[in-house]
Amino acid sequence: MTTTPVDREGMTPGDYLGGQLFNLSVLVIPGSLLVAAIDRTWTFSATAAGLAGTALLVVALFCGAGIPQAVRASGRPHLVKYSYLGAVLFGAAAAAAFMTLERERLFPVPVPAVVAVAAIAVALQLRSSKQEEAEAPAGPDSAEDWPGRLTGLLIGRYDLPPERAAELAEQARTRAQESGRTPAELFGPAAEYARRLQEDEPVRQDPFWRTRPARIIGLLVGLSIAVQAFIGWQRDGVWWAAWLIAAPAALGGVWYLVRALRDPGPR
């Protein structure tokens, strides 16, 4: 039996990557229109700084949200830290590109074209039906690799505490040794056995990004951005954007932050 790699959120690795692409595409539409309205233009100027910085920023955003969830759902939680490291490095590279590369205009980019491309990307994402993902068609795990693969799946896909996941993997390895068979022969594929094991496990350990502290940090960052946008737009005389966009965003951020601070739960 081949198991669809769905984690406790009902998501596959592809769902996380596609979801991040969808989110970025959706944000491009109002973001482009907002910048165009503030600058009173229908054409953006493509520059070396803008093109390189934007490309690096997109990679950084995927490394910060999308790839970590995807690799964890694939049962490889040890790769999450490298994804976050990539987010920091690509984010720094993006900032350097924006500040140091040439700002000379290379060619014009019509705002409607940017919006149209983003809208097409959103439409394609909405039309694509969710397909079940099978495990990678690689050969079966060796007797040495199988326990480690089981541990990664229990931690990354099903949020078991690392100590409990290691304990279950060691129990499976011991039983296989005693039977004189390999773990794959005795229990089947690691993904399927992990799915069966986790059904009877009451204790879970959510990744940091699904915890209450992470939600509070995210709200504080969003609130800071909204306040800075309000101050900047007021200073630049763009009062309509300050009061109609930044102010409601800041008030909404305060409301959600108060709710998060009052929430006693772990998430």
Which residue type does 83 have? S
| Listed residue (80, 54, 53, 85) closest to 67, CA to CA | 80
Q: Can you give the pLDDT at residue 4?
A: 61
- List the domain boundaries for the chain: 1-130, 145-198, 211-267
DSSP H helical segments within the chain, as ranges? 13-39, 48-64, 67-73, 80-100, 111-127, 145-156, 162-179, 183-187, 190-198, 212-235, 239-241, 247-262
- Interval 101-154: pLDDT, tens: 999 999 999 999 999 999 999 998 888 755 544 445 445 566 678 999 999 999
Query: pLDDT tens digits, the chain, 267 residues: what are they?
Result: 454 678 888 888 989 999 999 999 999 999 999 989 988 899 999 999 999 999 999 999 999 999 999 999 999 999 999 999 999 999 999 999 999 999 999 999 999 999 999 999 999 888 875 554 444 544 556 667 899 999 999 999 999 999 999 999 999 999 999 998 989 999 999 999 999 999 888 888 888 888 888 889 989 999 999 999 999 999 988 899 899 999 999 999 999 999 988 876 555
161/201 Cα distance (integer angstroms): 10
Q: Of all helices (H) and strands (E), which one includes residue 11?
A: none
Q: Can you give the pLDDT at residue 141?
A: 64
Q: Of all helices (H) and strands (E), which one includes residue 107?
A: strand 107-110
In sequence order, the 6+-apart residues with CB closer than 8 A to the CB of 155 are 75, 77, 161, 162, 165
